[in-house]
Structure 1
Amino acid sequence: MRAPRVLAAAASAAAVALAVTACSGPVTDGAESEQGATAAADAFLDTYVDEGRVVRTDQGGDTVSEGQAYGLLLAVVAGDEARFDDIWDWTTANIQRDDLLLAWRWEGGSVVDDEPASDADLDAARALVLAGEAFGRDDLTDDGLALGEALLDEMTATTDLGRILLPGTWATASPHAYNPSYASPAAYAVLADASDDSRWDELADGSHAATEALLDANALPTNWATVATDGSVAIAGAADGTGEPGYGYDAARASIRYAESCDPADTVLAGRIAAALPGEEQLPAELDSGAGAVTTDQHPVAYAARAAAYAADGRADDARADLARMGDTATRTPTYYGDAWNALAEAMLTDDALAGCPPLESSSTAAASSSSAGALQDPVRAAAASDAVPVHVSIPAIGIESDLIGLGRGADGWIEAPADYNDVGWYEDGVVPGQIGPAVIAAHVDSKTAPAVFHNLPQLRPGDTVSVTLSDGTVADFVVTGQQSVKKHGFPTESIYAPVPTPELRLVTCGGPISSETGLYEDNIVVTAIAA
């Protein structure tokens, strides 16, 4: 038997988001802002949820039970009871079967694949129980426990390794098809505590044993495997056992789910994966079973997985760098699955809203106690390689040639806007452009009477260049990789200003809707650029 569960801390200190006013004045009442996990959850819900249906917009507009479960989890993270109800109501009305399990795929107004997928049912049951507690709703708790009981009855099997989670009701014959990334120790713990059903603890033990045996057989978890009744395990290429085993969009989730576990033995398993993953800055989305690249594509879930493994292995700085890459990749190439795991990993690894034990929570809390920004990076100036400071910025694509002034941070914790609407400033308490980390340059988008210097900033596109001249005559060149619009009162400080291992740049101004109460912009536009 493994060590007993250790409950997560009740709540981490709230972070004050390091937004940039860069308009006609600050839009703040001094209240603490949402943390990065909440902002990422809100962004996913705003983008992909349509009247309770989580839409795979980049995959033909269909819906799968996995997506509904992700939406439920992220509504819990966001504390959004109304949206939670919308998602669960759509789920029960459209894809919940008579046995309470969830049909996998819906398209064009009806279910087109009635088979359930256990990862979706497990995530949904976890979300329902957590929502019942968060919103004071016994009806949601009851629904979660009933769904969980149906899963235990129909999609688990006992083996010599212990009870294991089957991927679906079709996998009851030995050797059982097994997906390592479906197991979720934190979900088992939530459901065990709420139900007192001993089978959840059995499932936690069996899943740990199966995952450990798989990692003994192959250093990387594979997308699929088999587990026989006698406890023997083998990696597999697909659910039916055919093809070449590989590590990709499924297997990547295993380290995330194990890294958030409150059981130290599970965390050790997640940490083991770190040594098997390539250490290069650019991580391919798919690898073969020996960690060789099989694609040049990049994907947020791959970086999230390596961040989880690094965090579990005690390599917090490396983990945070990968979380930044995760966010950058999601911004450059937004997809349903990438944005879902961008938000879920942020929550599971840095926030305890889902009742796990996030491996990076203590680092975030430490940062909050030492900085009013409460962020992973203040952004704080690293040890300077020289005394040079930025004096000029050139952005040819939008016709900007401007000297730079220094910007500090106001009493509200936000980077101050330049006093003159045509001045461009750099955050002088942060990273010097060209040195390691994310440097910040900010300016106004307009004044009350005319466009200002950063009016055309949203027109920048990937591949456009930015050059910053320093006082010693050197020039730091950057290439734009993407942009995003973020709420000032939900500014994702942790993802935008997280430490990165190379020089990067954040160009920031105002945008989005104008508040009817203040007459000021509610959002920030953030353009990301990397060293050329």
Structure 2
Amino acid sequence: MTRAARALAVTSAAAVLALAVTACSGPEADAPASPTEDAATTADAFLETYVDGGRVARTDQGGDTVSEGQAYGLLLAVVAGDEPVFDEIWDWTTTNLQREDGLLAWRWDDGAVVDDQPASDADLDAARALVLAGDAFDRDDLRAEGVDLGTALLDEMTASTALGRILLPGPWATASPHAYNPSYASPAAFAVLSEASGDPRWDELAEGSRAATEALLDANALPTNWATVATDGTVAIAGAANGEGEPEYGYDAARASIRYAESCDPEDAAIAARIASALPDDEVLPAELDSGAGAVTSDQHPVAYAARAAAYAADGRGGDAEADLGRMTATAAEAPTYYGDAWTALAEAMLTNDALAGCPPLAASEADAATSSAGALQDPVAEEAVSAAVPEHVSIPAIGVESDLIGLGRGADGWIEAPADYNDVGWYEDGVVPGDIGPAVIAAHVDSPWAAAVFHDLGKLQPGDTVSVSRSDGTTAEFVVTGIQNVKKHDFPTASIYAPVPTPELRLVTCGGPISSETGLYEDNVVVTAVAA
């Protein structure tokens, strides 16, 4: 899929329609800043704080510079749309860190390189940034340098295994079993560089990295900072790059879910979603966990919250993801650090807007911010994929719902027509047919001016409860509830709830949460997610 096609997919996934249900309408409110504006502001703040003459300084770690930091600066300059700062960072990098083979030396301190070894995550991020800057600033020179840097990485820091091509942390890891850092792989970067270069090894690297990371999660529910991958495909968790120490989920491993959640490939996003179930759900999340998810420190760090937000977003838990992004920002503000501020800015960009050419799971359109409706609904399925069947009846035994289904279309104002009867249940007939591939939408009122309505108990559903939808073709689509969340109507996480999915899914929507003192109407939506049984 080309970047243009990916951008179109994101646009389609974020195109929204308001659900005009009178009892669900929320209060008018000023539209918050768009995700793009928020990400650019945060990126600007990082650049202003840590970039000095093109050098990204780790001010809280002695003031040295690493190639990773230069790459972060380049990516954030793209997010900020700041061509002069991008050039300044890249000029410093090529002058002080670039080796004869084109790769970047890892560490510089006090006027000189003190560690000449390259780090593949830094080189990969820098190559991605160069290609994206070439596109953003219409610069063929930057695009070509990005392709060249990526080619050097492919030549010297990848290896073929039975699982496919994998990304090595550095040239020192060529012997089997290879040291493997799951957070170095970046599916979105692989896609950008594949399109820019036409080199098939990028697609091989995407497939091999996915297979290796899946195998790692088979071995341990949480990704660890380090692992090993043998030539025969055997994967094992490890304590460090040299294999010593106890395996942990920490400052490195946390990045894995962020990188996989921003991928446009549903198989990659599924990896991030898989990590969600292994993380503790406590409001306070320790910065480091052991391999079994037990706390090994009481410290908190923005990257830990960013990682859980990414995992939640990929798992369809948009409200929980937004809450963790808030914790990320608060933690970064309380104790600013180079690494924490870098990943606060990067996570906001990767998860909420497409400046870095990914498919951000928490992206929102301008319509999301402006609408005060019950929720943002959309049709993520191409016209040719829509079934000829129609749903006729829905059954939700756990809350005693047995109802025929009516079609909900768009009114003259572009909003979805509400059920005229408070006890009617409707399906969005311009969207996915329940039982077809994608997120089908069924909606109804929670109450009426005088009594409870048909979806009054929707919020009482639990994971494992069932939903059945009978269709006109004689089939019955069976679903199992996997999650339920309350989300703010004025900040509805459209992309995470209604984005395209590779299997049949269902979204049951009604109103909930507090009632506005100004309007007397509900401020939230209740959204139940169910997957094909």
Q: TM-score range by the shorter chain?
A: 0.5 to 0.7
Give the aligned partner of residue 7 of structure 2: 8
Give the aligned partner of residue 113 of structure 1: 115
Identity between Structure 1 and Structure 2 (%): 77
Give runs of aligned pairs for residues 440-479 of structure 1, distance below 5 A: none
* 1:276 aligned to which of 256, 278, 286: 278
Q: Is the 8 A contact 1:16 1:34 kept in 2?
A: no
Give the aligned partner of residue 313 of structure 2: 311
Give runs of aligned pairs for residues 157-168 of structure 1, distance below 5 A: 157-168=159-170
Kindly provide the amino acid, as one letter, of the partner of residue 6 in structure 2.
Answer: L
Give the aligned partner of residue 251 of structure 1: 253
Is 1:327 the equivalent of 2:332?
no
Kindly provide the amino acid, as one letter, of the partner of residue 8 in structure 1.
Answer: A
* 2:41 aligned to which of 19, 34, 39: 39
Return the alpha-carbon distance in structure 1 between the equivalents of residues 338 and 368 of structure 2: 31
Give the aligned partner of residue 371 of structure 2: 370
Q: What SS does structure 1 have at the residue aligned with 2:179?
A: strand
Is 1:226 the equivalent of 2:228?
yes
Superposed CA deviations along residues 298-330 of structure 1, whole A, max 9, x for unmatched, are: 000000000000000000000000000000000
Q: Is the 8 A contact 1:17 1:35 kept in 2?
A: no
Cα-Cα RMSD? 2.6
* 1:70 aligned to which of 72, 79, 85: 72
Give the aligned partner of residue 209 of structure 1: 211
Q: Is the 8 A contact 2:31 2:370 kept in 1?
A: no
Q: Is the 8 A contact 2:287 2:300 kept in 1?
A: yes
Give the aligned partner of residue 180 of structure 1: 182
Superposed CA deviations along residues 250-272 of structure 1, whole A, max 9, x for unmatched, are: 00000000000000000001000
Give the aligned partner of residue 136 of structure 1: 138
Relative distance call for 1:16 and 1:71 in structure 2 (3 A) is farther
Return the alpha-carbon distance in structure 2 between the equivalents of residues 166 and 87 of structure 1: 25
Return the alpha-carbon distance in structure 2 between the equivalents of residues 246 and 272 of structure 1: 17
Kindly provide the amino acid, as one letter, of the partner of residue 340 in structure 1.
Answer: A
Give runs of aligned pairs for residues 83-98 of structure 1, distance below 5 A: 83-98=85-100
Q: What SS does structure 1 have at the residue aligned with 2:298?
A: coil
Return the alpha-carbon distance in structure 2 between the equivalents of residues 126 and 243 of structure 1: 33
Q: What SS does structure 2 have at the residue aligned with 1:7?
A: helix
How much has 1:35 moved relative to structure 2? 1.4
Q: Is the 8 A contact 1:163 1:203 kept in 2?
A: yes
Give the aligned partner of residue 395 of structure 1: none
Superposed CA deviations along residues 325-380 of structure 1, whole A, max 9, x for unmatched, are: 00000000000000000000000000000000000114x555224169xx9xxxxx
Could you tell me the TM-score, scaled by structure 2's length?
0.65
Superposed CA deviations along residues 191-218 of structure 1, whole A, max 9, x for unmatched, are: 0001100000000000000000000110
Give the aligned partner of residue 100 of structure 1: 102
Q: Which runs of 5+ in 2 are unaligned?
A: 16-28, 377-490, 493-512, 515-533
How much has 1:244 moved relative to structure 2? 0.3
Q: Is the 8 A contact 1:252 1:305 kept in 2?
A: yes
What count of residue pairs does the alignment treat as equivalent?
Answer: 363
Q: What SS does structure 2 have at the residue aligned with 1:158?
A: strand
Return the alpha-carbon distance in structure 1 between the equivalents of residues 69 and 277 of structure 2: 31
Return the alpha-carbon distance in structure 2 between the equivalents of residues 208 and 43 of structure 1: 33
Superposed CA deviations along residues 176-202 of structure 1, whole A, max 9, x for unmatched, are: 000000000000000000110000000
Superposed CA deviations along residues 103-124 of structure 1, whole A, max 9, x for unmatched, are: 0000000000000000000000
How much has 1:8 moved relative to structure 2? 3.0
Return the alpha-carbon distance in structure 2 between the equivalents of residues 202 and 16 of structure 1: 46
Return the alpha-carbon distance in structure 2 between the equivalents of residues 359 and 34 of structure 1: 14
Relative distance call for 1:136 and 1:249 in structure 2 (3 A) is same
Kindly provide the amino acid, as one letter, of the partner of residue 265 in structure 2.
Answer: D
Return the alpha-carbon distance in structure 2 between the equivalents of residues 115 and 181 of structure 1: 18
Could you tell me the TM-score, scaled by structure 1's length?
0.65
Q: What SS does structure 1 have at the residue aligned with 2:113?
A: strand
Give the aligned partner of residue 148 of structure 2: 146
Q: Is the 8 A contact 1:8 1:262 kept in 2?
A: no
Q: Is the 8 A contact 1:4 1:263 kept in 2?
A: no
Q: What SS does structure 1 have at the residue aligned with 2:183?
A: helix
